């Protein structure tokens, strides 16, 4: 049975960028391996249990989201005793680099993934794209992607103008089109907000026999940070690893958003925009009864005043 390591991850939050990178490399070298992948990427492997989390992250994302300033995979090592392989990028690159192609080729040739009972690929946004694209190197893996892009190839997704400056990246060579790369996965999950139009359009491209698409309405365009704020991401990934994630279990988890102010604000804004005043009043009444929510209290007073008008 895998055991938690309560001394992991270490706290690297007080280090300079140079000290931080040096510490990450040392952790990899001491517990598994550390490998630079060109000028813009690196791989850090922490060997522990027989479940492996392959997570794709950017360094600015780690600095913004992690209290310990460590890759998310380190948290799963500390909590559950999993092994982790963190593929890091200095910026949003969609991990389109021949050195990363060669790295995953070598892992596959060496039978690296065969040493683990379960392998999970995880990422969000551009990192979600990479999780899907490189999961092909570990047939039978589980894949969790938060609002991933399918490709930035303008011949396929010319409707997505958010990343126009990055269309020069080659998405037609190896590991290019993420939806095709998940065909060999045991199962893949795509989480998205259907009201985020471009995210929903990318999500539709992942519709496959082995894919479950899970909707997160009114959660917006930063699902990873919201799931972290709700403390749901570790249990969500664990459910993926154990094949327990489905529409019902996901809905149960997402009940936590009833206490998540950003979600509640988006929901109220939608009800107001649609002029559904009775539902807005019911929402405000519910929130005010459970939480300190001045905005909802003010809106409730406005709605009740409107009801009193002749």
Q: What is the pLDDT of residues 283-294, one digit of tens each?
A: 999 999 998 999
Q: What percent of the chain has pLDDT over 90?
A: 84
pLDDT at 129 over 60: yes
Contact 78, 86 (CB under 8 A): no
pLDDT digits (tens, 9 = 90+) for 251-277: 999 999 999 999 999 999 999 999 999
Mean pLDDT of 25-40: 94
Mean pLDDT of 155-167: 89
């Amino acid at each position: 049975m895998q055991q938690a390591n309560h001394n992991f991850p270490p706290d690297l939050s007080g280090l300079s960028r140079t000290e931080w990178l040096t510490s990450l490399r040392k952790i990899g070298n001491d517990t598994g391996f550390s490998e630079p992948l060109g000028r813009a990427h690196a791989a850090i492997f922490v060997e522990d249990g027989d479940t492996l989390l392959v997570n794709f992250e950017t360094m600015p994302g780690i600095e913004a989201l992690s209290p310990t300033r460590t890759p998310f995979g380190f948290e799963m090592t500390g909590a559950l005793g999993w092994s982790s392989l963190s593929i890091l990028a200095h910026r949003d690159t969609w991990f389109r680099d021949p050195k990363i192609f060669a790295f995953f080729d070598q892992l596959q040739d060496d039978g690296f993934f065969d040493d683990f009972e379960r392998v999970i690929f995880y990422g969000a946004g551009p990192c979600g794209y990479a999780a899907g694209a490189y999961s092909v190197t570990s047939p039978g893996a589980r894949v969790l992607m938060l609002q991933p892009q399918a490709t930035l190839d303008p011949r396929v997704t010319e409707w997505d103008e958010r990343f126009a400056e990055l269309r020069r990246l080659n998405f037609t060579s190896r590991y290019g089109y993420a939806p095709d790369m998940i065909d060999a996965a045991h199962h893949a999950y795509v989480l998205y907000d259907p009201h985020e139009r471009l995210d929903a359009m990318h999500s539709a491209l992942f519709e496959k026999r082995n894919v479950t698409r899970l909707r997160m309405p009114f959660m917006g365009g930063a699902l990873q940070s919201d799931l972290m704020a709700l403390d749901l991401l570790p249990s969500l990934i664990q459910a993926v690893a154990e094949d327990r994630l489905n529409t019902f279990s996901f809905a149960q988890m997402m009940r936590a958003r009833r206490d998540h102010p950003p979600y509640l604000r988006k929901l109220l804004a939608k009800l107001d925009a649609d002029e559904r005043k009775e539902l807005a009043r019911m929402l405000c009444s519910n929130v005010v009864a459970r939480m300190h929510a001045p905005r909802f209290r003010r809106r409730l007073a406005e709605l009740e005043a409107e009801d009193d008008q002749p």
